[in-house]
Amino acid sequence: MPIFFFRFSFFSLSILFIFLSILSVDTFNNSIFTSGLIDKFLHFFAFFALTTLGLLSKFKIKTLLIIALLFILGIFLEIIHFFHPYRVFELLDIVANTLGILAGLGLNFFTKKY
């Protein structure tokens, strides 16, 4: 696939995730997406997808910088939740984000190695 597709997908998903993170929880009230483990899985999958797309995009920056920026994004979004009147800061969300980043990095390493 062309690099443009990966870059477009990376930036589109980044904007979508930022938008979803500032929505009120009431938007998803009584939804399957707000229940404990599913919420953590969504955080994991979102950052796994962002990491994978970010690494496939072959930006002219180092892999470590992409990983660091995604990690900072995950923390920044949770800090927004702390100050948002209808959202809640959760340390486990940061853990799920970090695990998603590490899984995406691991997949990238594994596919390059083999």
Under 8 Å between Cβ of 55 and 63 = yes
Q: pLDDT tens across 8-62, in order?
A: 999 999 999 888 888 766 555 555 555 677 889 999 999 999 999 999 988 888 9
Domain that holds residue 61: 3-113
Domain count along the chain: 1
Ordered alpha helix ranges (H), the chain: 3-22, 36-56, 63-83, 91-113
Residues 114 and 109: their CA atoms lie apart, in Å, by 9
What is the pTM assigned to this prediction?
A: 0.84
